[in-house]
Chain A
Amino acid sequence: MSLLDVKEATIRFGGLVAVNKVSFKIEPGMLFGLIGPNGAGKTTLFNLVTGMYTPTSGQILFKDRQISGTPCNKIAALGVCRTFQNIRLFPALSVLENVVVAGFLRHKTGLLSALAYLPPAIKETEALKKEAMELLKVLDLDSVANLRSADLPYGKQRRIEIARAMATRPDLLLLDEPAAGMNPQEKEDLRETVRKIRDEHGLTVLVIEHDMRFVMNLCEHIVVLDHGEEIASGPPDKIRSDPKVIAAYLGEAV
């Protein structure tokens, strides 16, 4: 059983076909890369998988279950969570609160319990805070847990995004350009972190990234998109020497 099975996913915005019959399968535990030039449709594909858009045609199966057309928050509860390319934290909330919000989707207590501040809601909140704190430790953010997330530097905000997405305890984690704006050392650390969370938390990771070195060193399988179409798919070595990929990135020889 594949974890994620994208079958000929297509979405049109008016006359523009942003993603055109893209198909791929992700097996559990994989580090899967999605690359392509700007405007290739990578983020749109993420939006399809996470339920922000509904595909015009085609299917998206998660654990053999059709998820296209399911609302975003339900897909998150099923076990697909993402980070955003242009960071979308909850700016006025602290780092810890950002992560607690994401953990709340596993809540068991009701609204009345929270309004009356009953022990179940208190305990649940404490438990979520503790879990969030542990996640922050994994991503080396525990020292800034109580700071406003908007006040932190870019690299840290990117890591908070990852911590927040992981708090939903996803089976499939989608990272949208997690290394953008990071320096080489930070990228190196991030790669180790992604590997580590995959190994320790049994996650499957789908990552969009522009930094070729980062993707080639991290991912086990890569799909290349260009103008909304899949032009190559395979292990990094094969992608590196694929003439179509080179043409898409560098242009063809005249």
Chain B
Amino acid sequence: MNDYQQRLIVLAGLYVTLSVSLNLINGITGQFSIGHAAFYQIGAYATGYLSIHYIQAFAPKVGGDVPWLLLMIVVGAIAAAIAGLLVGLPSLRLRGDYLAIVTLGFGEIVRIVVQNNDALGGSYALANIPRIQPIWVSLLLAVVCIAVCRNLLKTARGQTYLAVREDEVAAAAMGVNITGVKVTAFMIGSAFAGAAGAVLAHYEGVVTPQTFTMDVSFIILTMVVLGGNGSITGSVFAALFLFYLPEYLRDLKSPDGSALIISGGAVLAGLLAVGFGVAVIRWALNNAKLARGTRVAAYFGSVVVAVPIFFIARVGIHLIPTMATTQVQAGQLRMVIFAVSLIAIMLIRPQGIFAHHEFSWTWVRKLFGKPGVPTEIAA
């Protein structure tokens, strides 16, 4: 495995951690937070700073570099959890959009404070962080994060978190301590983001304020929404999908192995084809009278419609001067393709890929149509 592949695995683990932990705040508890990168950053900078200054003195005492990293992960989690408490407390009075504004503001405050602090490297970078790079740490963190959220949801306590999302007033009337629920959700969610930050800092050896811009917060939020608000399974899959898609598109090859070059006309034709494909699927979804078989046929039909539209449109658009001669490297379009696939998925399935469902073996068996398995919602 080369460095690039290793790095992809580590970052994928971190993104899964980030999206599952944000899902606890946003999806499960229903508190619309869009400043998750701030907690990630707090974990990274706090532990990066500590490692630069204290690793030589203390790492031997805890048994070497890897135990020191594990200790730093805990420290990063605690630091971010305290920050989560600070944001969580005032946010108790805020709901929806207003809370979103506060968390967004908080994210920017953290980034700008760091940017203007010379001891933390200012706007350049916090560099020379000792690099401790076992791959398994990131994967372990992701697994622990998933396990914690799943455990919570399996218990009665977890149901009260969902109840706060569903109806705060009714939850309070049923004896749920909504203050406690919101604050703990914020603290646990940010703790995992902070832990992820600690792993990142020691993997990269350098972190800059630009690593933690609003874009990162939004991509994590997109993962949660795309996967299905509240679904842990969805957060995991969407994180992997959204993380790997741009990486995969980065070096799209044509069959002969050179970088794939396409014309501007083909790009437009592709967009048009996706649009028609989505329209066909939407039509099938909206048409409740369709038999199940017809609907499945329509899903395949969308491809049957999209492909000829692509070729016909390409011929048509190429008649326009410069459309055929403008050449684009496919890799450069990765963010366009990324955005288009997001839009397409959200149009086809607004509730997210997994909606509120979780992975379970019952569900898999149902998917393959084994008879005799009780369905979740009986007719």
From B154, B178, B184, B356, give the contact of A73 (CB < 8 A).
B178
Q: Is the CB of B377 within 8 A of A72?
A: no
CB neighbours of A101 from chain B (8 A): 156, 159-160, 162-163, 171, 174, 176
CB neighbours of A103 from chain B (8 A): 156
Q: Is the CB of B166 within 8 A of A90?
A: yes
CB neighbours of A165 from chain B (8 A): 174
B57 at the interface (CB under 8 A from A): no
Give 15 A-B contacts (CB < 8 Å), ordered by A residue: A73-B174, A73-B175, A73-B176, A81-B173, A81-B174, A84-B170, A84-B173, A89-B170, A93-B166, A105-B175, A111-B157, A121-B157, A125-B155, A128-B156, A146-B376
Q: Is the CB of B175 within 8 A of A104?
A: yes
Which parts of A77-98 form the interface with B (CB within 8 Å)? 77, 81-82, 84, 88-93, 97-98
Query: Which residues of B are at the interface with A, using a C-beta cutoff of 8 A?
Result: 147-148, 151-152, 154-160, 162-163, 166-167, 169-178, 184, 188, 230, 356, 376-378
The proximity string for A residues 133-168 relative to B, scoring 1 for CB distances below 8 Å and 0 otherwise, is 000000000000011100100000000000011011
Query: With A101-B176, A102-B175, A168-B174 known to touch, is A114 a contact of B157 (CB < 8 Å)?
Result: yes
Q: Give bound CA distance, A71 to B178, whole Å.
A: 11
From A52, A88, A168, give the contact of B175 (CB < 8 A).
A168
From A90, A125, A146, give the contact of B156 (CB < 8 A).
A125
* 16 more CB-based (< 8 A) A-B contacts, given A107-B157, A115-B148, A125-B154: A73-B172, A73-B174, A73-B176, A81-B174, A89-B167, A100-B156, A101-B171, A101-B176, A105-B174, A114-B151, A114-B152, A114-B155, A115-B152, A115-B188, A117-B151, A128-B156
Nearest-Cβ distance from residue B379 to partner chain A, whole angstroms: 10
Q: Is the CB of A116 within 8 A of B163?
A: no
CB neighbours of A117 from chain B (8 A): 147, 151, 154-155
What does DSSP make chain A's interface, helix, strand, loop or mixed? helix
Which parts of A200-214 form the interface with B (CB within 8 Å)? none
In the A-B complex, the 10 residue pairs with the smallest Cβ-Cβ separation, listed nearest first, are A105-B175, A76-B175, A90-B166, A117-B151, A88-B170, A102-B174, A72-B172, A114-B157, A114-B155, A101-B163
Q: Give bound CA distance, A213 to B86, whole Å.
A: 54
Q: Is the CB of B163 within 8 A of A90?
A: yes
Q: Is the CB of B377 within 8 A of A147?
A: yes
Q: Give bound CA distance, A2 to B167, whole Å.
A: 32
Q: Give bound CA distance, A92 to B231, whole Å.
A: 13
CB neighbours of B377 from chain A (8 A): 146-148, 151
Nearest-Cβ distance from residue B63 to partner chain A, whole angstroms: 24
CB neighbours of B178 from chain A (8 A): 73
Chain A minimum-CB-distance residue to B378: A147
Q: Give bound CA distance, A128 to B175, whole Å.
A: 15
Nearest-Cβ distance from residue A100 to partner chain B, whole angstroms: 5
Nearest-Cβ distance from residue B7 to partner chain A, whole angstroms: 30
Q: Is the CB of A82 within 8 A of B151?
A: no
A8 at the interface (CB under 8 A from B): no
From B157, B170, B175, give the contact of A90 (CB < 8 A).
B170
Q: Give bound CA distance, A147 to B167, whole Å.
A: 18
Which of B147, B151, B376 has the most CB atoms of chain A within a 10 A radius of its CB? B151
Q: Give bound CA distance, A50 to B162, whole Å.
A: 22
Q: Is the CB of B155 within 8 A of A124?
A: yes
Which of A50, A71, A104, A107 has the most CB atoms of chain B within a 10 A radius of its CB? A104
Nearest-Cβ distance from residue B227 to partner chain A, whole angstroms: 16
A122 at the interface (CB under 8 A from B): yes
Nearest-Cβ distance from residue A136 to partner chain B, whole angstroms: 15
Which parts of A1-36 form the interface with B (CB within 8 Å)? none
Q: Is the CB of B175 within 8 A of A50?
A: no
Q: Is the CB of B154 within 8 A of A104?
A: no
Chain B minimum-CB-distance residue to A82: B173
Q: Is the CB of B159 within 8 A of A100?
A: yes
